Amino acid sequence: MFKKRGAPETSFLSQHKTLIGIGTLLGAIVGAGILAIPYVIAQSGLLFGFILTVILGLSLLLVNLMAGEIILRTKKQHQLTGYAEKYLGPWGKRLMMFSMIFSIYGALTAYLIGLGETVAAIFHWGHPLLYTAVCFLIGFFIIYRGVKATGTVDFLLMGLLIFIILIITVVSYQNITVDNLTTLNFAKFFAPYGVILFALMGLPAVPEVQEVIEPQKEKMKKVLIIGSLIPIFLYLLFAAVVVGVIGLDNFEVLEPNQRIATVALSIYSSPVLGIFANLIAVLAMFTSFLTLGTALIEMYEYDYALRHSSALILTFFIPLTITLFSLSTFISIIALTGAVAGGLQVILIIFTFWKARTQGERVPEYSLPRHTFLGSLLILLFSIGVAIELLQIV
């Protein structure tokens, strides 16, 4: 399931770089976010949730392509912080470091909370924090030993996740209540924004995509397009089914950390179906935990020259502390992380892309137009998103 960094791939999928690259990106994008989407979309209404998902999904597709071109225009391998420093200077590195630390720490915290709750829902025994601690120790040991989830596992896992969602759709179709799908709340139009943005973000994995498809860099554009589009369709289908079955009123009855979609399904739907859904959720979150944990460690090692042990401690101490002391809830931390850190990452990537087009060191395998108007519009929109999320918190 895991390999040492630099070890040769020997599986069937490993011979197909496109599939491995897609699996790597999907493994970073599809994680805890999908489990929070149904509840926040139930708050705004399915139609508004669909509109936000499509707009944000297509926007991040473009930004992922921009990030890919930045990487292909640069000779030396970096994480996002290194590319920001190279093309934007020290201020760019500092802001990107803040956004990456904020986003990945938020993601790791959400994964730890989500893992504890979903495993507890499977076994119906013990406190969720017990399972959080067990999952943390396993993940920490794997990364400490210098191994990471492969794109092969990510690809297969996403196939299983899609299969389970299709099963949920078929089994739950008769239990969908139409009224749950037609409710609209204009006052809550932006309620899903932060969670959806979090669920669609995969920028820290784009440098890893370039690594796993090496030396076939010409596949980068195709991989980023497919890997960015699949989550959009996956989230829309999953949200429609879960919202249709559960509805906002039933969601509101639950404890905050029970509003995780698969946990709620295990309560209101078939217990057996809930077990399978929770199992896939655990696997998806655990793989993303390893992928993003590795990305943050690489940032500390590549761009700040820290020792591996120091990078490990810095990466895991904060999310573990927040989780163990119950300093935040699953959905609230996802919303804050997605809107603030995700929005800042997008803005910085657009500025970096503009500079890399004129200061790059090599001819990239694909080249986008400058997109001055569209890029400026995205900067404005994501800046507004950050402001709205912060105002909601206040």
Q: Is residue 264 part of a domain?
A: yes
Bridge partners for 3 per DSSP: 148
Cα separation, 230 vs 234, whole angstroms: 6
CATH number at residue 243: 1.20.1740.10
Q: Are 342 and 201 in contact (CB under 8 A)?
A: yes
Q: Is residue 365 part of a domain?
A: yes
SS3 of 147, please? strand
Q: Is residue 369 part of a domain?
A: yes
What is the structure's pLDDT at 393?
66
What is the number of structural domains in the chain?
1
What is the structure's pLDDT at 15?
53
Q: Which helix (H) or strand (E) holds 149?
A: strand 147-149
What is the structure's pLDDT at 229?
95
Q: Is residue 7 part of a domain?
A: no
Q: Are 33 and 338 in contact (CB under 8 A)?
A: yes
Which residue type sits at 157? Answer: L
pLDDT tens digit at each of 394 positions of the chain: 333 444 444 444 445 778 888 888 887 788 778 888 999 999 999 999 999 999 999 999 999 999 999 999 998 888 888 899 999 999 999 999 898 888 888 889 988 998 998 898 888 888 888 999 998 898 888 777 765 445 556 667 677 777 877 887 787 777 888 898 988 999 898 889 999 999 999 888 898 888 888 878 888 999 999 999 999 998 999 899 899 989 999 999 988 878 888 888 888 877 777 777 788 788 778 877 887 788 788 778 877 788 888 888 888 888 888 888 877 788 888 888 888 989 999 999 999 999 999 998 888 889 999 999 999 999 999 999 888 878 776 6
* Omega cis (within 30) before 90: no
Which residue type sits at 342? Answer: G
What backbone torsions phi and psi does residue 11 show, to the nearest 5 degrees? -75, 170
Q: 232 lies in which domain range?
A: 14-393
Cα separation, 53 vs 59, whole angstroms: 10
Q: Are 336 and 193 in contact (CB under 8 A)?
A: no
SS3 of 267, please? helix
Torsion angle of C-alpha atoms 59, 215, 303, 335, degrees rounded to 10? 30
